[in-house]
Amino acid sequence: MHAAVKQIRHNPRLSQACCNALKEKMHTKKHPFGKFAAIIIICVLVLLSACSQTNSDVSSDKIRIITVNFPPADFSRMIGKDLVEVRQLLLPGVESHVFEPTPQDIIEIRDADLFIYGGGLSDTWVENLLKDNEISPDNTLIIMDYVTALTEEIIPGMQHDHDQDHAGEIDDDDNHHRQEKDEHIWTDPKNAIKISEAIQDRLIALDPDNAGEYRTNYNAFAKELKELDDKWNSAVADNERDVLIFADRFPFR
């Protein structure tokens, strides 16, 4: 039954033939209501198949990008615009430190043209997938590779969450300090420019025919980020105070 429905859905001529045949039977058999209901069901399947096929055709020419969180997804959209199809895994409200991909997520990452992730401790699950050969390193881009990340400062009295794998914690057994890198690298406009340039280069490698558009989009976006950075520098330079106090456990740097 499933095979027959699948064959009908993916074959427009067969779908039309089924509809025609059912229409004829509706006029020759008793119980016309049941036959009419069958026609409706078949036609709905055909329409859904047509819509699915149309959407697939539209997106098939686009570069498929999967990102873990919002910043690289936004950068990818700014550079790729209508030439890319972007999906981010971490939706608003999802805690990055406890995120686990679904089997469907893993399939989409494996099939994507480009998978972008940070490279910090929050992405340990990505490293595990790479180690187990569930996804390929060939289509991945690690944004930490293109910037100089700050090291989290560990001082006496700092509290640590031992339920999570924070690498900045002190190991009392061997007195070994594992240094954790600050993953919020995209909050610095200069870093955002470097990350965006790396995305531009990968898009050009994947789609050289549209290299000019990727460069144009990147240059416009980099200009906006540069202007933002200049405003921040001016605000700091003209301020009477140079001390900021954050009442938070993990403030952005």
Give the model's confidence band at 171: pLDDT under 50 very low, under 70 low, under 90 confident, else very high: very low
What does the pLDDT read at residue 79? 98
- The number of CA neighbours under 13 Å toward the Cβ of 169 is 13
pLDDT at 71 over 90: yes
What does the pLDDT read at residue 51? 47
Name the residue with tokens 């980099």. 222
pLDDT at 15 over 60: no
Answer for the pair 136, 110: CB distance below 8 angstroms, yes or no. yes
DSSP state of 162: T
Higher pLDDT, residue 95 or 130? 130
Q: Average pLDDT, whole number, for the chain?
A: 77
pLDDT at 54 over 70: no
What does the pLDDT read at residue 182? 84
Is the whole-model pTM more than 0.85? no
Mean pLDDT of 105-128: 94
Closest of 205, 194, 198, 213 to residue 113, by C-alpha: 205
What does the pLDDT read at residue 12? 47
What does the pLDDT read at residue 204? 98
pLDDT-wise least confident of 79-88, 151-160, 183-192: 151-160
